[in-house]
Amino acid sequence: MTATDLSLTKQDADKLFQRKRLVGFGIPAVIFAYLVYIFFAFDIAGLAGRANLDNAVTLASDSWSHKVHVTRDNRSGEITYAVEGERKGTYPEGQRPEWVSGDEVITIDLGGDHIVRYLPDNRTEIELPGFPLIEVRAEGRSLTSNLPADLPDWISASNRRIGITTPEGRITLTGARTEVFNYFPGWELFWFTLDSPYHGQGLGKILFGEQIDPSRSNIAGAVSDWWNNAMWRHKDVAWAIGETILMAFLGTMGAAIIALPLAFMAAKRFSPVMMLRAATRRVFDFVRGVDALIWTVVLARAFGPGPLTGALAILITDTGTFGKIFSEALENVDQKQIEGVESTGAKPLQRYRFGVIPQVVPVLLAQILYFLESNTRSATIIGAITGGGIGLMLTQAIQTQKDWEEVAYYIVLIVVMVMFMDWFSGWLRGKLIGRKD
């Protein structure tokens, strides 16, 4: 008797172990098989071919450094000095970086004994350590040089274009112009552009020194020059961040205001008519299912691009989400409080106000504040599609494919903004409904 019992139990245990073993090996095997399928479906093997490592290098180096262009127009012989080659960063007439010298012969010292000389008659001399002196002459659209036929891989040359990449900087020569790029760490002109009188002045001198610009006081002038900096556009960036937060705020709060009365209609407790309840719920499911992407597309057709479109897209999608969450919260309210309020002779509206709302407010507030934070992220993404806020500035900066330091700046700002909203909504939640633990 006991022996059969024992063997039965043993059999059961064996079966259990077998099943566990199957699950224990089966789940990882299924995951692995799926990943293998994805490996082929996404063509990850071909990724190496598609990936552009040059882009990655440019991105990594440009995001924390800047370059100064020294350009000679070979037709007019004019030489310009510009940060990042942008007109907004051009050195004013008569000024140039201190690593450039000479009048007739312009000598550019890239550092580390790398020297480029712009000679008259569109001739260029390039002195590199461990390499014979390179002489190039531009005539019309073609170049003549003394470069040997056998070139190292950091020099590319044809009779139309010569490119030389050194650790100290880059040199490109074409018939039309000769350009030298000198790289420096840091974000240049972040505070003041070159045309501002405050450029190159120390903080102490601006705050406590004598007046630099006779027409303005130092602090006001410095703040206004920084705010209107044409390179980094601090004013536009601040507005863009404001727009993004505004989209999230308007969308979340508007959705909550609209969803609250609708949630009463969808909750079994408060809405005895089954048809009405079902209809409201289907509306919630529909607006949620259509998704912010499609709402953005549809609304952008009606309202045009901008923050209002983004705010409305968030509002409509979240009305569905909030409606669902709120009506679930309303189903779970305690009947006793409502009865208590009713016993004092309260009318239905008063019963809701004093019997129901105090019970659900903490739940609703917690949800709204959580969504406020997550919608800041959504607003960045929607802004990139519908054209508003910091999302748009980021997309534009990435699309130009050269202002990587601005891209890095925007990314830092976005992360700081989201973390700030996260902290802020947590703080507000703590103030309004007490800490969670």
Partner 1 sequence: MADISLGGAAQSVGSIQSSYMAQVQRRRLYGGLTLLIFVVLMVSGFNIADDRNAGGFWEGLHQIGDYPADVLSEAWGKRADLPGLIAKYFPALVETINIAAVSTLIGAIGGLFLSLLGTRGLAKWPRLIPLFRRISDIMRAVPEIVIALVLIFVLGGGPVPAMIAIAIHTAGALGKMFSEVAENADLKPVEGLASTGATWSQRMLLGVLPQVAPNYLSYSLLRFEINIRASAILGFVGAGGLGYELRNAMAWGPGRFDEAAAIFVLLFGTIVFFDQVSSRYRNRLTEGQGQ
CB of 349 to partner 1, least distance (A): 17
Residue that is written with structure tokens 């610009």 in the block: 213
User: Residues 13, 22, 220, 293: which binds partner 1 (CB under 8 A)?
Assistant: 293
Residue that is written with structure tokens 């009318």 in the block: 347
CB of 299 to partner 1, least distance (A): 7
Question: How far apart are alpha carbons 77 and 99 in whole angstroms?
Answer: 20
Residues facing residue 145 across a β-bridge: 136
Q: Which is nearer to partner 1, 166 or 395 (CB)?
A: 395
Q: In the chain, helix, strand, coil percent, each to 5?
A: 55, 15, 25
Q: Long-range pairs for 365-369 at CB < 8 Å and ≥24 separation?
A: 365/429, 365/432, 365/433, 366/429, 366/433, 367/322, 367/325, 367/326, 368/252, 368/253, 368/256, 368/322, 369/425, 369/426, 369/428, 369/429
For residue 19, the SS3 value is helix
Instruction: Give me the amino acid identity at 111.
Output: G
- Say if residues 190 and 232 touch (Cβ distance below 8 Å): yes
Question: How far apart are alpha carbons 367 and 421 in whole angstroms?
Answer: 14
Q: Should residue 253 be labelled a site residue for partner 1 when binding is judged by CB under 8 A? A: yes
Segment near partner 1 (CB under 8 A), from 90-98, 133-141, 197-205, 412-420? 412-420
Binding residues for partner 1, total number by CB under 8 A: 63
Segment near partner 1 (CB under 8 A), from 157-165, 166-174, 308-316, 359-367? 308-316
Q: Should residue 433 be labelled a site residue for partner 1 when binding is judged by CB under 8 A? A: no
Kindly tell me the burial class for residue 303, based on how many C-beta atoms sit within 10 Å of its own C-beta (0-12, 13-18, 19 or more).
middle
User: Residues 395, 426, 428, 433: which binds partner 1 (CB under 8 A)?
Assistant: 395
Segment near partner 1 (CB under 8 A), from 39-47, 78-86, 111-119, 218-226? 39-47
Segment near partner 1 (CB under 8 A), from 115-123, 168-176, 197-205, 294-302? 294-302
Q: Should residue 265 be labelled a site residue for partner 1 when binding is judged by CB under 8 A? A: no
Q: Which is nearer to partner 1, 77 or 304 (CB)?
A: 304
Contacts with partner 1, residue ranges (CB under 8 A): 31, 34-35, 38, 41-44, 47, 50-53, 55-56, 59, 243, 246-247, 249-250, 253-254, 285, 288-294, 297-299, 301-309, 311, 377, 380-381, 384-385, 387-388, 391, 394-395, 398, 401, 407, 411, 414-415, 418-419, 422
